[in-house]
Structure 1
Amino acid sequence: MLATGGTIAGSGASSTTVVGYTAATVGIETLLNAVPELKTVANVKGEQVFQIASENMNNDYWLKLAKRVNTLLAQDDVDGIVITHGTDTIEETSYFLDLVVKSKKPVVVVGAMRPSTAISADGPINLFNAVILAGSDEAVGKGVLVALNDQINAARDVTKNNTSTADTFRTPELGFLGYMQGNKPYFYRQSTRRHTADSNSTSPASMSCRKSTSCTATPT
């Protein structure tokens, strides 16, 4: 599990604070310890890649994350990756990874619409579902996935529709890929567009950014 910050790692003034909170205040170990049930479904290792509110995401962060994802997926002892992320730019990060990740192993991007301190925090169940999804055979070869609110979306197609509701992530034109139900993913369709290992996009190892404003690709 690679942590990048966001609302899922946020905290509020009280348990009823669901807006006006501070994002990216909770570290990866705290997030993992808050969901002890994870130990029953996978062997999860956590790594704090960076800790930001996702509106501050830029090219440098994207490249750092993509390179780390590809490095880990090349290891035999890694079956899948979960990335915790803020929801403001979760669709942009997911789509970028869908183009440059060079593996068929599952990559699941997950976030939350309420901070970790909220009485109705959605982060823990989203994390639990994301880990199950990332470790499932069903998710292999499906491209980068965005999983929140028991729903599975394709990185290429998903969009954020609301600033505060838990069901904000949707795919208006094509619909969800599937759902999480009973601790198991159920897929009803899949993206047929080229992605991840089959994408013709340049590997992030051959890309560089200048002043965090533009990226250039070097042919390999």
Structure 2
Amino acid sequence: MPSTEGVIVILGTGGTIAGTAASATQHTGYTAGALGAEALLAAVPALQGRPLEAESIAQIDSSNMDGATWARLATRCATHLARPEVAGVVVTHGTDTLEETAYWLHRVLAPQKPLVLTAAMRPATALSPDGPQNLFDAVNVAGTPGARGVLAVLGGVVVGAADLRKVHGYRVDAFSAGDAGPMALLEDGRLRLLRPWAEGTPHAAAAHLPGLLAGQPWPLVDVVTSHALADGRVVEALVAAGSRGLVVAGTGNGSVHAAVKAAAERAMAQGVRVLRASRCQLGGVVGGAPDDLPSAGTLTPVQARIELMLDLLVEAG
């Protein structure tokens, strides 16, 4: 694969890719984030001799991802991407919230260089870990001339941040590129681009990164699921607890139980921002009636939550 031979910076955040287990046959119940970024690089001999830098941002299970880590990660990504000698940045991450971190970085950075996230479904101690190959591929994509934007590389597939979906809880091929399909494929060490690299514009909330890094509180935004036998108690409880935004994950094409809808409308009357998404992994919300709750369109519930948080940060000034 062609490379600029510029520096590639590896930022580690933990996750299964950095996980260790008591046995090589153990794929669950392991300790996520046990290894730092340097150790992950050492496990990929094919990367030795490349102009690489490694930095550990965190060593956590990504199910425990927090705002402080997000703020620090985005800030460090921006700092490294601004260095002229850096061709791209790779972030190693857990799979559980990979799609959320990818969308967050996409919205606040929208970089003109490649910012590539990668992960693994098996710990580093497994008989056949998927992390080393994913990391190798991610470094190669990050060094590809012309590549840009926030991308995820897993199992030889390159996916745009806005399209990334985790669709399986255990299999190695746990991710989908949604309706858009893959951005590119890695085939025998070569990148086959399937569609143009995504363009993006940073959300105005990017200006709040220094404040978030300094401990500025995040707006409280929650996800409520609509389902059979639902009522409005969860919505009412969240509003009473201080939620400033709510994403209703509706059934099918964003359908919302009448009781939940009524509670959400009462919340909106109190100044709470509401978006209606679909709890289905693919498809989003298409169309709707005039009296429907505001639509999140193609955004997943967790993406819509990030979008609302960013909007509320700007509104707060």
TM-score exceeds 0.5: yes
Matched, 1:159 2:165: yes
2:177 alignment counterpart: 171
One of 161, 185, 191 as aligned partner of 1:185:
191
Deviations 1:123-172 (A, max 9, x none): 000000000000001423xx200100001111001100001111111123
User: Where do 1:25-64 residues align within 5 Å?
Assistant: 25-39=34-48, 42-64=50-72
One of 1, 5, 19 as aligned partner of 1:10:
19
Whether the 8 Å CA contact 1:3–1:28 is kept in 2: the answer is: yes
Quickly say closer, same or farther: Cα 1:78–1:113, change in 2 above 3 A. same
Number of residue pairs the alignment of both structures matches:
214
Matched, 1:89 2:97: yes
Q: Which whole-Å CA distance do the structure 2 matches of 1:53 and 1:206 have between them?
A: 25
Whether the 8 Å CA contact 2:57–2:69 is kept in 1: the answer is: no
RMSD: 2.1
SS state at 2:192 partner: strand
Q: Which whole-Å CA distance do the structure 2 matches of 1:129 and 1:68 have between them?
A: 22
One of 107, 114, 137 as aligned partner of 2:122:
114
Q: Which whole-Å CA distance do the structure 2 matches of 1:117 and 1:171 have between them?
A: 28
Q: Which whole-Å CA distance do the structure 2 matches of 1:211 and 1:176 have between them?
A: 35
Q: Which whole-Å CA distance do the structure 2 matches of 1:190 and 1:90 have between them?
A: 22
TM-score normalised to the size of structure 2?
A: 0.63
Q: AA paired with 1:61?
A: T
Q: AA paired with 2:209?
A: A
TM-score normalised to the size of structure 1?
A: 0.90
In percent, how many aligned pairs have the same letter? 39
Which ranges of structure 1 fall in alignment gaps of 5 or more residues?
A: none
Which ranges of structure 2 fall in alignment gaps of 5 or more residues?
A: 1-9, 221-308
Task: Compare the two structures and name the one with the higher helix fraction.
Answer: 2
> Which structure's CA Rg is the greater one?
2
1:71 alignment counterpart: 79
Quickly say closer, same or farther: Cα 1:213–1:120, change in 2 above 3 A. farther
Q: AA paired with 1:52?
A: I
Whether the 8 Å CA contact 1:153–1:178 is kept in 2: the answer is: yes
Most deviating of 102-111 and 148-157: 102-111
Matched, 1:100 2:108: yes
Q: Which whole-Å CA distance do the structure 2 matches of 1:122 and 1:48 have between them?
A: 20
Q: Which whole-Å CA distance do the structure 2 matches of 1:51 and 1:150 have between them?
A: 25
CA-CA distance at 1:189 after TM superposition: 1.4
Whether the 8 Å CA contact 1:159–1:170 is kept in 2: the answer is: yes
Q: Which whole-Å CA distance do the structure 1 matches of 2:147 and 2:315 have between them?
A: 31
Q: Which whole-Å CA distance do the structure 2 matches of 1:201 and 1:97 have between them?
A: 13
Q: Which whole-Å CA distance do the structure 1 matches of 2:95 and 2:31 have between them?
A: 13
CA-CA distance at 1:39 after TM superposition: 2.6
